[in-house]
Amino acid sequence: MSDNDALLPEAGPAPAAQTTPIRQGMWGTGSGDTSGYAGLRRSVEWPAAATAPYGSWFDDALARLSVLVADPFYKVVVDHGELTVYVARERILEVMQALRDDAFLRFEFCASVSGVHYPDELGSELHVVYHLQSMTHNRRIRIEVTCPDADPHVPSVVATYPAADWHEREAWDMFGIIFDGHPHLTRILMPDDWVGHPQRKDYPLGGIPIEFKGTVVPPVDSRRSY
């Protein structure tokens, strides 16, 4: 037992893994699928929340984070040897600052900031995933926050991790997540006047005017089927 064990949240019964509705086709909707996998049907078992002790260096790191930030996380997932920490968006700036600056943690490098759209997760349809790496300790951690479709705001971490600048712009461009405090939150892939956010799962596949060719991609259902 380490000196930090007493600081870890009390372990409760591990919740069962959640099963999503059956997914059909490559894209999960079963319609408009020209990938050749329209007949594919599968359920997805999400990893269950883990309980302490988590193993490896995870326990001491999370205990240290709990000392530096009040209520820094509300869920921890350990899957395939990887640590994912779910943080409330109101806490993300404090958590990121602590992870970067504390000598015991020292996650100096933010490798990526990614958006994800889960339309079936009512109240938390949009996720932001941060991949951090500690060069000092040779460790990696994944931080995840959520926000609802109706209020797609997450504080920008650019002041802490300047490399997140273009990543947050891409997440805004593709998913419509608004990063409050970003120095210049504009589109980075699509034209400035583009309507919608193309990587959302409710974005239409086809029927969208092409900016530079004066033509239209036909709706997916009118294309070749397999």
Tell whether 6 is covered by a domain: no
Do the bridges between strand 41-42 and strand 178-180 make them parallel or antiparallel, or are there none, so unpaired?
A: unpaired
Residue 219 predicted with pLDDT over 80 = no
Task: Please give the pLDDT value at position 75.
Answer: 97
Question: Taking residues 30-47, what's their average pLDDT?
Answer: 73
Instruction: Indicate the range of 16-20, 55-59, 114-118, 191-195 predicted with least confidence.
Output: 16-20
Q: Which pLDDT band, with edges at 50, 70 and 90, does 221 fall under? A: low
pLDDT at 216: 61
The arithmetic mean of pLDDT across residues 94-120, rounded, is 97
Tell whether the model's pLDDT for residue 160 goes beyond 90.
yes
What is the count of structural domains for the chain? 2
* Rounded Cα distance, 64 and 73, in Å: 12
46 versus 183: the higher-pLDDT residue is 183
- In this structure, the answer to whether residues 93 and 193 fall within a common structural domain is yes
Q: Mean pLDDT score of the chain, rounded to an integer?
A: 85
Q: CA 141: distance to chain centroid?
A: 13
Where do the DSSP E strands lie in 91-156? 109-117, 126-134, 139-147, 153-155
Least confident of 4-8, 34-38, 65-69, 147-151: 4-8
Task: Quote the pLDDT of residue 191.
Answer: 80
Mark whether 26 and 91 lie in a shared domain.
no
Which range marks the domain in which residue 152 is found?
A: 51-209
Range with lowest mean pLDDT among 33-37, 70-74, 113-117, 168-172: 33-37
- Number of C-beta neighbours around residue 82 at 10 A: 13
159 lies in some domain:
yes
**Pair (92, 191) in one structural domain:** yes
For residues 181 and 165, what is the distance between their CA atoms, to the nearest angstrom? 11
In a domain, 72, yes or no: yes
CA distance 73 to 99: 13
Task: Check residue 218 and give its pLDDT.
Answer: 60
Count of C-beta atoms within a 10 Å radius of residue 98: 21
